[in-house]
A and B are shown apart, each in its own frame.
Chain A
Amino acid sequence: MPINTVHIGAGAGFAGDRPGAALAVAEALAVAAQQGTPAFLIFEMLAERTLALAQLERRRDPDAGYSANLAALVQPVLKLCLQHNIRIIGNFGAAHPQAAARRLRAMAQELGFKDAKIAVVSGDDLSARLTPADLAARETDGALLKDRKDIVAANAYLGAQPIAEALAAGAQIVVTGRVADPSLVLGPLAHAFGWDWSDWDRLAAGTLVGHLLECGPQVSGGYFADPGCKDAPDLDRLGYPIAEVRPDGSAVITKPEGSGGVVDLRTVKEQILYEIHDPAAYLTPDVVLDLTGVELAQQGPDRVAVSGARGHARPDTLKATVCFESGWFAEAEISYAGPNATARARLAIDIIRKRMAVLQPGLSLRADIIGVVSSFGDSAGSDLAAAVTESEDVRVRFATRHAEAEVAKLLLAEVEALYVAGPAGGAGVRRHLVPQLASASCLIERDLAAPRMELLP
């Protein structure tokens, strides 16, 4: 019997997403699954640098290197998903998908599912195949990789095909490393509906559904509320999104009944354009998506119909992200409050700039006054210099970055010394120093990545 609807939900939109948020989605999917509708739950947990951090973990511990939040996010829904054949697809494999798959198998066995089928998608890791010089030659924007030796991770964004193959092989859980975020959704849709890998309009439609789901609740009322202007109710129990997808790729975006948040034209429009450059050409490994003809219609409370995506042939190259070590980042803050607080804050900045110019000439240093201008301001400080806002409760924030930790620490020591050697009433110093990873983008030939799928034996 041909399938006429697939339900697919998002359980996480980033590595640090909320444990337990997926449960209401899984419960709604279970109802659909019981009525015979194929159901899938995706977890997107891999930002640009997350994978490099995982690679560093794997260097320290050969059994680590997958998402630290894997168990916290998947455990609450695992039993329900395995019971009701809600198939899970997640990029929580990070730098070590095999280890993540073994962990998931152990979790399933503890729940009494001895033979859960778990697949691993790999081949995104380029570090064994491309030298730093090979990568530098393929860098797209700038020359950050030139002569660089300290590369931590180099991964291509794989597409949806190996995910669909894993599902065709019967996998109940598909663990990936780096794949394009929308491919986590396109893989199950292409598998369920049997879409051809050159049916560009359907691949585009499925990619659009993936794009709308990949950031979890950002389409269902998260990253949205502006009180009195555009409200979203009950955000404390924000519902994560579910797409009900038709064989032509058109879909209704919704969320679990009774959950908080909102799905309306405004939330969907904001997410359609999120992190988009040219709306006529959104590039993924699977297709080039053209959003310009997309039509939306509110079909009822928290139900928005999405149609009209168009597709063009997929790009010849794959995007890859290369991460490398990038020195130390130091940040320190101090508060000033009460009469003339802003003037005392400005004096503190003046003192620190002069002291640091003597201690470490040429060090790049940023200073903000939180409460006057900080988020909007430029790093050179011209917005802060021009600001006329006065506040009686401000926080001064300093930041620097340097290859040597000892140099970055000089700033931390000087900010702490403002307690005794700065303006009156300086309070509440907090400081931290963290190693930094930076990233660069490359375009690589498709045959340099080697996507493969294997079922865990």
Chain B
Amino acid sequence: MSKLAGSLREAITACGLKDGMTVSFHHHLRNGDHTLNQVLAEIAGMGIKNLRIEASSLFAVHAPLVEHIKNGVVTAIGTGYMSGPLARAVSEGILPGPARFRTHGGRPAAMERGTARVDVAFIAAPAADPMGNLSGVLGPAACGSLGYAMTDARYAGKVVALTDHLLPYPLFPASIQEDRVDYVVQLSSIGNPQGIVSGTTRMTRDPVALAIARLAARVIEHSGLIKDGFSFQTGAGGASLAVTQYLKPIMRRLNVRGSFGLGGITGYLVEMLEEGFFDSLLDVQCFDLKAVASIRDNPRHQEISAARYASPLAKSAAVDSLDAVVLGALEIDTDFNVNVHADSNGIIAGGSGGHADTAAGAKLAIVAAPLFRARLPIIVDRVLCVTTPGDTVDVLITQRGIAVNPGQPELKDRLVRAGLPVYDIVKLKEMAEGYTGVPAPVKPEGKVVGEVEYRDGRVIDVIRAVR
């Protein structure tokens, strides 16, 4: 027996894909992914229409989806994140109905509940054997963790693995195993390594981002959480990543050994693992090649599924054991609600990813953002779109000061006692407007183009079309 299909089309046919079904994709190859476009081009060529896409994230590289939507091949989208030309087109109302935005933990939960059903999952496998044992750490398009794809493999009706690096049976180590995989297809390339990860994640040199990061590290220091067993997550961008470099000397000075670093993993967290600042890394997705090498070579760098990362239906998820997370924001309002879905003009510019999940799970959810970006204050009366509810956000850190959620009076006391610049969030907003002026309100009022599903399955906000 072999599960090797002669061609992509043969595998799609064998899966019984028909009009109106749902196909899923995962985003570990990020903006270097070649698989989604190849699969949809094939499906379009077969004349199949009216498909729903369930993706963990969609990037600029997936712009050909716009044509597939225009041609009726794709008529519905669920995703954790969306950027690039597709996001612009969806904001303009190209889909017949709203796109469904889920969190990285909400996606596996929706699949478990059956509200996000997948007929055929396509898994980009940097290495595979002919029976469908899959690895993310081998091959020319190695991306490290396959955490999000584990969910698809578990819940989809049929599972097709796509690989450009076929190895003899039994492949070792297998992240996704043959018991879940129906077919294996060889492609000439599943992705461009340059776009998969940034090579090396670069630390920002922006003085504003560094000032924010320094302040964030001091907030963590004085939060009471820095003790042996401390656990930490941060994003790969700007100020969030920079917090890592300021945290390290604090942990060294206090002689603290952390338990784990979580999330999308960067080379900076790998360094902290190797230097003994953390005992382990829990990795749902690698952000750079150093993380890819580490998850391949270091058993303490553990691969975790999306469900174990953040699902609210998991018997426990890693976010539930998380002490501190540093998150970004496009906007935050005076009730601490955070928007990472829509830009200042209401156009789709991202999505939760793990934002709402980690904020809900972590003991200390920090939002780190500049007071204003290109004349737009970050703090507003009401965010254009609620990604992460304010009652799960503990503190906002800007380069000019800190605002603590009124629901955390003890934290506020600690930070004030430490001499940190704590202000009411309204005061910080006024400070920003002192530099920028008060922006005229913008509110898109077209049809609903996006529904924001919280991790528990409730729709907590909508995104409307820009005219």
| Chains A and B form a bound pair | no
